[in-house]
Structure 1
Amino acid sequence: MKSRILFLISTVLMLMSPLSHAEQLKNIGSLEVHYSALNATFIPPAVAKSYGIKRSSANALINIAILDKNQAGKPALTANITGKARNLLGTTKPLTFREVREGKAIYYLAEFRFANEEKLIFDIEVQAQGNRSGKLSFQQQFYSE
């Protein structure tokens, strides 16, 4: 049952990605950092409840997965992820990531609040196992439903 929920949340996150940006991936050395940010109302209620995600028209979610591009089968990596979001006025919002494990899959989720039509710039530090690290920066505009 839980693997079906993980599959559903992964599918929803991947399906929502084209609405904001096509392939959301950054290569950092030997790391493939996959990321998506979306309004939390896109997550089905049952999935949100099982992962403790607050669904609200002013709440959003970042999902990050890190793969080793030098390994066959690209296994998921554990990491320490920190970051912040800032709007165009310079107001910052700290991001607190939590690890979610489901079998071999490892995801990092962070929730944050936003104002309608707010454009946010994300600055994220990734420190993956094996002393590999780097920065991920992107921006995205969010809309309340």
Structure 2
Amino acid sequence: MKRALTLLLGLLIATTAAAERKQSYGDYDIHYIAFNSGFLQPDVAAAAGLIRSKRMGVVNIAVLKGAEPVDALVSGTVKNLLGQDQPLSFKRHKEGDATYYLAQFPFDSREVLRFDLNVQPMGGEPVSLTFNQEFFPDE
């Protein structure tokens, strides 16, 4: 089960790099992705402590300095187009040498959500990261 989780999270990071879903700030690269939790296999979701649902999303953050993962403080909110925002509660997840910060959030329908995140790599300056992602309920 751990190998499946490692593979999935590794693929998510690889996908973000291929899609240029990263921001570089000085020596640090912040990789990010948000997706519907229904895409996760049940055993992978359980191992990461995530809830699979048609109307739940996951945001995944990884901070690297060079090729090495870096611990960070991650917080933020997710906001819909009506301006309703919800705080995100990130949990640190360590798998082998990789470190990820995962948060879940609900969404009601097909909608574009705005993520406003604060990431502070240990030993680095705080960084504000904002991105939009469209979500579709898995029906």
TM-score w.r.t. length of structure 2: 0.91
Question: Is it true that 1:76 corresponds to 2:69 in the alignment?
Answer: yes
TM-score w.r.t. length of structure 1: 0.87
Question: Is it true that 1:67 corresponds to 2:70 in the alignment?
Answer: no
Contact 2:58 2:104 in 1 (8 A): yes
Question: Is it true that 1:5 corresponds to 2:4 in the alignment?
Answer: yes
Q: What secondary structure is seen at the aligned counterpart in 2 of 1:132?
A: coil
Tell me what 2:51 maps to. 54
Partner Cα separation in structure 1 for residue 71 and residue 8 of structure 2: 19
- AA in 2 matched with 1:56: S
Question: Is it true that 1:33 corresponds to 2:16 in the alignment?
Answer: no
Contact 1:117 1:142 in 2 (8 A): yes
After TM superposition, give the deviation of residue 5 of structure 1 in Å. 2.4
Contact 1:12 1:42 in 2 (8 A): no
Residue segments in structure 2 that go unaligned for 5+ positions in a row: none
Q: Which moved more, 1:5-14 or 1:129-138?
A: 5-14
Contact 1:121 1:140 in 2 (8 A): yes
Pair 1:14–1:31, CA change in 2 (3 A): closer
Instruction: Give the % identical residues.
Output: 38
Partner Cα separation in structure 2 for residue 30 and residue 15 of structure 1: 19
Partner Cα separation in structure 2 for residue 41 and residue 6 of structure 1: 15
Q: What secondary structure is seen at the aligned counterpart in 1 of 2:83?
A: coil
How many residues were matched structurally? 138
Partner Cα separation in structure 2 for residue 15 and residue 81 of structure 1: 20
After TM superposition, give the deviation of residue 10 of structure 1 in Å. 1.6
After TM superposition, give the deviation of residue 14 of structure 1 in Å. 4.7
Tell me what 1:132 maps to. 125
Contact 2:37 2:53 in 1 (8 A): yes
Pair 1:99–1:142, CA change in 2 (3 A): same
- Structure 1: which 4+ aligned runs deviate by more than 4 Å? 14-18
Q: What are the superposed Cα offsets for residues 118-137 of structure 1, whole Å, 9 maximum, x if unpaired?
A: 11111000011113221110
Q: What are the superposed Cα offsets for residues 61-98 of structure 1, whole Å, 9 maximum, x if unpaired?
A: 011100013xxxx1100000000011111100110000
